[in-house]
Amino acid sequence: MSDLLYKANVLERRSTNTMYVVNEAWKTTLAVSTVNGLLHVFDIPSNHERIKVTKGTAPEVAFRKMIPPVELPSEAQLKQNQSPSNIRWYHHLIPSESFVISNCAIEFYDAVGSKNCQFEIQEAVEATGANKIFGKKIVYRKLLFRTVSRDEAVVWLSSLKGCNIKWTPNDTL
């Protein structure tokens, strides 16, 4: 294991930036925080049921699912310089999202007695493209995460050092 790895958990996430949030399903992800202050989010593939991964699953199991099974090329594929799969073996090992924790604010939604506990991470980043052209200097990227329990959320959030955490009691979750 890398010395840079601080904490890893399997969580569910969905974006809160789009106007289609109501229709967006929760995605199972592997969230990894590092000692140098980064949070990387990896989407866990669901295209095959070789290993079932849900929030609360051990990070090692989720990582194993992210590595595709070995597929040996046939002799004909080798002659034609073809790969047995269109997806490169490292495809799922590239983070779908990365955050600089010191640029983040976290809002923790605490629902008393709820099985699921949610928190939103919002990162302030320098505007680019059309946002910059129209005068915005800073834009915000947001992700909403869901854990198995309140205790797991508290442990996970305590590992994210250097960001502002706001606690919001909420009975509607």
Confidence of residue 97 (pLDDT cuts 50, 70, 90): very high
Phi, psi of 84 (to 5 degrees): -70, -15
> Are 31 and 166 in contact, with CB atoms under 8 Å apart?
no
Does 151 have pLDDT greater than 80? yes
User: Domains in the chain, ordered, with CATH?
Assistant: 5-169 (2.30.29.30)
Q: What integer pLDDT is reported at residue 112 of this predicted model?
A: 65
- Judge whether 111 and 173 are in contact, CB under 8 Å: yes
Per-residue pLDDT, averaged over 85-112, amounts to 82
User: Token pair for residue 154?
Assistant: 């508290």
> Would you place residue 173 in the very low, low, confident or very high pLDDT band (cuts 50, 70, 90)?
very low
Predicted local distance difference test score (pLDDT) of residue 86: 67
Query: From CA 11, how far away is CA 7, in angstroms rounded?
Result: 12
Element (H, E) at 59: helix 59-66
Greater pLDDT, 117 or 47:
117
Please report the pLDDT score of residue 113 as a whole number: 65
Give the pLDDT confidence score for residue 88 in this predicted structure.
Answer: 72
- 84: pLDDT strictly greater than 70: no
- pLDDT tens, residue by residue, 56-75: 777 777 777 777 777 777 78
Residue 12 vs residue 90, higher pLDDT: 12
- pLDDT, residue 150, reads 82
Q: Which residues contact 127 (CB under 8 A, 6 or more apart)?
A: 136, 137, 138, 139
Backbone angles phi, psi at 119, to 5 degrees: -145, 145
